[in-house]
Amino acid sequence: MMPKHQQNLRAVRRTIGLGTVCALLVAVSAIFQSRAFAPAVMAASTPSFSADVAPILQKNCLGCHSSSVHKSGLILESYSSLIKGGKHGQPVLPHDAKGSLIVQMLEGDIGPQMPVNADPLPDSDIDRIKAWINAGAEGPVVTEAALPLIAPSIPEIQPDVAVVSPVTSAKFSPDGKLLALGGYRQVRLIDPASGNVIATLSGHANYVRSLAFSPDGKLLAAAGGSPQLEGEIKVWDLQSRQVLKTLTGHKDCIYSIAWSPDGKLIASGSYDKMVKLWDVAAGREAMNLQDHIDAVFAVEFSPDGKRLASASQDRTVKIWDVATGKRLYTLSDALDGLTGIAFSPSGDQVAAAGYDKTIYVWQLAAGDGHLVQSLIADEDSLLALAWSPDGKTIVTASADGSIRFRNPKLDLVGVIDKQLDWVEALDISPDGKWLAAGRYNGTFSLYDLKTLKDLGGPRKVFDSLKPHNGNEGKETARR
Amino acid sequence: MEPRRFLLLVALAVGFTVSCALRGSMSGQTPSSPVGRSPSDSQYHSADMSKSASGGIASSNKAKTAPPTNQGDSSLALLAKIAILPSSISITGPRYSQRLLVEGTFADGHQEELTSRARIAISDAKIATADKDDVVFPQGDGQATVTVTVQGHRATAPLIVKDYSTASIWSFRNDVLPVMTKMGCNSGPCHGAAAGKNGFKLTLRGYDPNTDYYTLTHQALGRRTNPIEPARSLMLLKPTLTIPHGGGRRFDVGSPEYKVIAGWLAQGMPAPQDSDALVTDIQVLPREASLHPGARQQLIVTAIFSDGHIADVTRWAKYDSGDEGVATVDNNGRVVMHGYGEAPVTVWYQSHVAFSRLRIPFPYKVDDSIFLKAPRNNYIDDSILKHLRALHIPPSSLASDAEFMRRAYLDAAGILPSPSEVDRFMRDPAPDKRNRLVDDLMKRAEFIDYWAYKWSDLLLVSSNRLSNDEMWSYYHWIRDSVASNKPWNTFASQIVTATGKTLDNGAANYWVIHRDPLDTSENMAQAFLGINISCAHCHNHPLAKWTQKDYYGMANLFARVRLKTSAPSGFRPAVGPLFNDVTVYSAPTGEFMDDRLMIPLPPKPLDASALSSEAPGDTRLYFAKWLTSPENPYFARNIVNRVWRNFMGRGLIEPVDDLRDTNPATNDELLNALVKDFVAHNFDMDYLIRTIMQSATYQASSRPLKDNADDDKYGSHFVVRRLPAEVLLDAYSQVTQVPEKFDGYPAGMRGMQLPDTAVKSYFLTAFGRPLRQQTRESERTSVPTVTQALHIINGDTLNNKLRAPDNSVDMLLRLGFTDEQIVDYLYMASFSRHPTDSERKSLVDALATAAHEKIPGVDDARRAALIDLSWALLTGKEFMFNH
């Protein structure tokens, strides 16, 4: 009927009307926003990638476009990766800033406006990028096309109270005569029998989060690095107590290293999702094993050195062929991130544990592995795992404050509970006599594996750092 | 006979008049209905109707934007008094400060924040000093006086500083987490997501401080915090964008946020302790204010802690406006007023909620005498008029007797009054006849049918999950409860604690429908408390105070309920009828192992203390006592709000099943008064219904005034709404005198008498009958659809009734009524009123013309015309709507 049609007509008209108004508004705002009217910002000299563009990208874009996150396949860590582009093509068209995707997205002409979840860049920054593109988008003068790491300026804040470094790693030497304990920027070498400090190795970038002795016991690798900046492995000569090599290449700190049984390789797993194999003699990266999609918290060589197992926050264990660097297969039974991994001494099984409170044991075959045991083992996350040299015991440390001992069928055979703090550093001596447990509160204990007795009680490892203003008394405020 | 052939003719004749009548009775609801639009134009689903039909879901942004007044230059000549907020200032410890506000009240009653124009002096600079932003900083222990002057007006407030020289420890729970929550670090889209972000996962809005503490300090080998070189902590580097952060910049180096986190790191990251002071309450100031358009108002928020200290948490609270058309609020608690009306601004801090009610009175000059002279039948009207007066909204006058009668019958009993009842009532000269009508109505069987149906909706009575006999048993139990006016606390209690055979004790069927402790617990909260706790299944409720532990503790109250059948054991389908006749009983012991925490929590009603897990017996008794206690803040509030919605079309809190603290009532004072009255009268449902129906507010006309047309929630006039599906169908049966026949039920049984919503009825389904599968008010919809329009126009429900032999048309013909009498009768039967003279005249003329029309295939042109007339009346807005 008529009125109905009239109504529809009116609705249509209203829509058209609105559309027109919108279009007008867009046009008007486009004129106002058009940078044709903005005062031209021209650098006196030719704009430089390193000086003008890199700092802007570094500061605003790397949260999502780093080699570890790479949203839309785009990595903005270096000139070459910027020019290469991502899923949506090349972001930069030299000499055509207006036509460059990076400019269009920074200005919001193409959504989503970058950076996502943050204020748009100031016009001055965008103008600098445009000027650089219009000048030809030249790369950095140095041949190394990587972005120089710009040391962020960090204010100086002193602790108000005395603080002690957590014990972040523990490792017995192959002959069992040394126990290395890692902490903040240093490693302590201890005689496990007496508890005496033998040496302190310092100069590390941050926490030493993993330690590995060379099979002959002459070298010690200490790994760590600064979160989200760089991973670092220092190879120490234990005789001279000199750093022989410093291996860098990971883009985030390293959580785990292992030394190959033949002594030639060090494997490392990092928060940057990469597993790397390092040629120790040459002091350089031999292979990059890329397949995990989240932080790698643990790596371990098989006893024969042919395979490498890695455990990750991505809930998987991956088994790699060391010779070729090929991933053989993935074990994906876990329900949450994995923190610890160990091979059985025979090498045919691998155990892992993590945040889902569960211990998993897989039987390994040539082409695949299958789960043979799994058990919800504790009331809270599992933080570390070790398999005794005689193959009879799997030891785990949990955030619930317990260290539990289980046989390979995961039956409970012993408990040490009421730990003073989280145990994230755990190692069994090669002769199977001792268990070393390093805690977040800076103490460690040496347990007799037979009696589960704490030999000598919890001991301090590192010196406590006194605040400059001498407020030591306030340490009681800490748990 | 095909009535539609006459449609155009009659519709054209009737259309104009009916439209006019409608516009007369509902002007404002039909702002621009084109003249000549016929009722067959399915007006009820046109755009303007959809708004009125949407019931409680009122648009919140309808307030008109008010022109801003130039506040900065406003004269202080009419300033009546000033006040300091807070009225007494207490600062504990050297780190805290307190922001002050100076609020001026003017002669016309409006307020303005005058802080920037005030002079603030503190009597002793050794105790405290104020900075340029009127923030008071402590300087030493002691007491002082704050004096504020604005243009000759003066106000003072006492100030006390304590523990100034006590070294204070930054608290993870009370300093660090609130900063992270305020900055959004632990919000749903960021690290509060179930999977975290980039390997870093916090609990949603910081509900578990212990877990967050370990995640930040211990997890991933001290990755995120560095107590030795605090500034190198990722926790500071990333949110300041010193190094890249996917979440962008959250705060700057050196900001108060930075200082809190850096301070805590430097103190060696003290862990949360069980002995930490907990927030017991928060307060927002000003609590309410009448402001001018364009006004800016800072809010201040103070938190009161379990150890007695008070802290200014304005910077760390979160803010949200309940009506952005009226007021907007930024992240710092700065409000800007925009449009007329009232906006509750919600303030959230550490799971505590408070409101500031800010309003701009409408720009109408409403003389006080209007409010003084407005009819007041009981306290409801006092409260509504007080609120309307504050908002400058005039109330509409009372509805006519005929309008009131039709409305009361529909709302309380789901039926229309008969023409003779209408006639008798309109002639009745007694001054208390409206109250008597309410009393008489409440004695009718249809009243019982109506409320039994309503509570059957709430309690999910249907053959979906019950056998036929059980469904009847449950329904009869409810109906008997309504018939005997069982107090609501007894009603609820009997359901909650029901035991025995489901055919003997109808209430026990509740337990056949809800067999899982989690489902039971969620349903109990929804049906009897009007709160949705299902969020707390996976994490603490983000908008209410319920924690995951509350959730599982409550579920454990229902872990001992057992069902027994005589059939072989082991067969227990998750849905569908279990068996005919089940015995419900409580096992003496038993616990519910939840699927997430993996440890049974002691049985505990939401915010009550827990029972010991070992305590033997029926834990439901404890729950029932807590549930129906007069002190339970939700139990009475829930049912009062639901009954209010039945009569007013909109709950005082909307939606009615969402009574969380962050969802304020439009008139809190009234809701509190109703609840108090209801509880004082021992949860008497009839008393509650009577009180509401007797109020002048309920009896107000649906005709809006020029100055109250924008109001759809403050009670200035009756809000029109479409009849519910069953009421509409019954009304068609009643007016046409052709009863409906439902499958499996005797003819003549009305829709409102059905015990089951699984009964097949295209009409009822099309008009939004609920499925009774979930206790949720939105299961019943009043949304207009094309299906409804088409069904009314072409469908066989109404048309078959109009074609049926011996229907009302045939009766009128048989009685030999004149056209005039017929028009009069049909108006009385359908609209409960006489036609106006012009309506009568044009319809009589149209009928006369139509009766002589020669149409091939139609024997009785007059009958056909009468059918078309009936159809036109029954499909019009005036019929299909309650007004």
Q: What is the band of B16 on the pLDDT scale with cuts at 50, 70, 90?
A: very low
Q: Which of A160, A166, A184 is the closest to B267 by Cβ?
A: A160
**Chain B: nearest CA to A57, how far in angstroms?**
9
Mean pLDDT over A228-248 rounds to: 95
Q: Residue B641 in contact with residue B531, Cβ under 8 Å?
A: no
β-bridge partners, B200 = B197
Residue in chain A lying closest to B261 (CA) = A157
Q: Residues of chain B with pLDDT > 90: what percent? A: 72
Q: Do A474 and B267 touch (CB under 8 A)?
A: yes
Q: What is the pLDDT of residue A23?
A: 37
Q: Do A253 and B232 touch (CB under 8 A)?
A: no
Mean pLDDT over B621-633 rounds to: 95
Cα B754 to chain centroid, rounded: 27
Residue in chain B lying closest to A225 (CA) = B223
Q: In this model, does residue A9 exceed pLDDT 50? A: no
Q: What is the pLDDT of residue B43?
A: 33
Q: Which of B169, B253, B270 is the closest to A155 by Cβ?
A: B253
Using a CB-CB cut-off of 8 Å, the residues of chain B touching A337 are 199
Q: What is the band of A122 on the pLDDT scale with cuts at 50, 70, 90?
A: confident
Q: Give pLDDT tens digits for B134-161.
A: 899 999 999 999 999 999 999 999 999 9
Q: Do A1 and B41 touch (CB under 8 A)?
A: yes
Q: Give pLDDT tens digits for A136-146.
A: 888 775 443 44
Q: Residue A201 in contact with residue A218, Cβ under 8 Å?
A: no
Residue in chain A lying closest to B45 (CA) = A4
**Chain B: nearest CA to A292, how far in angstroms?**
13
Residue in chain A lying closest to B266 (CA) = A159
Q: Of the candidates A61, A46, A32, A60, which has an alpha carbon nearest to the alpha carbon of residue A128?
A: A46
Q: What is the band of B588 on the pLDDT scale with cuts at 50, 70, 90?
A: confident
Q: Which of B47, B224, B243 is the closest to A152 by Cβ?
A: B243
Q: Residues of chain A with pLDDT > 90: what percent? A: 59
Mean pLDDT over B502-524 rounds to: 93
Q: What is the pLDDT of residue A88?
A: 85
Q: In this model, does residue A266 exceed pLDDT 90? A: yes
Q: Do B46 and A7 touch (CB under 8 A)?
A: yes
Q: Which of A4, A63, A157 is the closest to B245 by Cβ?
A: A63
Q: What is the band of B87 on the pLDDT scale with cuts at 50, 70, 90?
A: very high
Q: Do A61 and B245 touch (CB under 8 A)?
A: no
Residue in chain B lying closest to A440 (CA) = B218
**Chain A: nearest CA to B482, how far in angstroms?**
45
Q: Give pLDDT tens digits for B396-407.
A: 999 999 999 999
Higher local confidence (pLDDT), B611 or B538: B611
Q: What is the pLDDT of residue A10?
A: 40
Q: What is the band of B103 on the pLDDT scale with cuts at 50, 70, 90?
A: very high
Q: Give pLDDT tens digits for A180-221.
A: 999 999 999 999 988 899 999 999 999 999 999 999 999 999
Joined together, the tokens standing for residue B619 give 């834990």
Cα B449 to chain centroid, rounded: 25
| Cis omega (within 30 of 0) for bond into A430 | no
**Chain A: nearest CA to B224, how far in angstroms?**
8
Q: In this model, does residue B54 exceed pLDDT 60? A: no
Mean pLDDT over B778-782 rounds to: 89
**Chain B: nearest CA to A314, how far in angstroms?**
9
Q: What is the pLDDT of residue A109?
A: 86
Q: Do A294 and B249 touch (CB under 8 A)?
A: no
Q: What is the pLDDT of residue A151?
A: 54
The per-residue DSSP string of A129-161 comes to HHHHHHTT----SSS--BPPPPPPP------SS
Using a CB-CB cut-off of 8 Å, the residues of chain B touching A7 are 46-47
A390 C-beta neighbours (distance < 10 Å), count: 11
Q: What is the pLDDT of residue B174?
A: 95
Higher local confidence (pLDDT), A71 or B491: B491
Q: In this model, does residue B465 exceed pLDDT 50? A: yes
3-state class of B424 per DSSP? helix
Q: What is the ipTM of this complex?
A: 0.76
Using a CB-CB cut-off of 8 Å, the residues of chain A touching B267 are 159-161, 474, 477
- Least confident range from A46-50, B690-694, B753-757: namely A46-50
Largest CA distance in chain B: 104
Q: Do A69 and B220 touch (CB under 8 A)?
A: no
Q: What is the pLDDT of residue B74?
A: 59
Q: What is the band of B17 on the pLDDT scale with cuts at 50, 70, 90?
A: very low
Q: What is the pLDDT of residue B194?
A: 78
**Chain A: nearest CA to B264, how far in angstroms?**
9
Q: In this model, does residue A418 exceed pLDDT 80? A: yes
Q: What is the pLDDT of residue B575?
A: 55
The per-residue DSSP string of B534-582 comes to GGGGTS--SSSS--HHHHHHHHGGGTTEEEE-SSPTT---SSS---SS-
**Chain A: nearest CA to B75, how far in angstroms?**
37
Q: What is the mean pLDDT of chain B?
A: 88
Residue in chain B lying closest to A466 (CA) = B228
Q: In this model, does residue A37 exceed pLDDT 90? A: no
Q: Do B221 and A227 touch (CB under 8 A)?
A: no
**Chain B: nearest CA to A294, how far in angstroms?**
7
Q: In this model, does residue A438 exceed pLDDT 60? A: yes
Residue in chain A lying closest to B272 (CA) = A479
Q: Do A163 and B228 touch (CB under 8 A)?
A: yes
Residues with Cβ within 8 Å of B154's Cβ and at least 6 positions away in sequence, in order, are: B82, B147, B148
Q: In this model, does residue A38 exceed pLDDT 50? A: no
Q: Nearest 10 degrees: CA dihedral of B497, B455, B772, B635?
A: -60
Mean pLDDT over B818-841 rounds to: 96
Strands (E), A302-442: 307-312, 317-321, 327-331, 338-343, 349-354, 358-364, 369-376, 382-387, 394-398, 403-406, 412-416, 423-428, 434-439
Q: What is the pLDDT of residue B166?
A: 86
Q: Do A424 and B38 touch (CB under 8 A)?
A: no
Q: Do B237 and A424 touch (CB under 8 A)?
A: no
**Chain A: nearest CA to B478, how far in angstroms?**
46
Joined together, the tokens standing for residue A369 give 């592995």
Q: Do A152 and B242 touch (CB under 8 A)?
A: yes
Q: Which of A69, A424, A475 is the closest to B246 by Cβ?
A: A69
Residue in chain A lying closest to B33 (CA) = A3
Q: Which of B218, B244, B269 is the closest to A66 by Cβ?
A: B244
CA atoms lying within 13 Å on the CB side of residue A301 = 24
Using a CB-CB cut-off of 8 Å, the residues of chain A touching B41 are 1, 3-4
Q: In this model, does residue B5 exceed pLDDT 50? A: no
Higher local confidence (pLDDT), A470 or B706: B706
**Chain B: nearest CA to A366, how far in angstroms?**
32
φ/ψ region of B672 (left if φ > 0, alpha if ψ in -120 to 50, else beta) reads alpha
Q: Which of A7, A117, A158 is the closest to B266 by Cβ?
A: A158
Mean pLDDT over A218-228 rounds to: 96
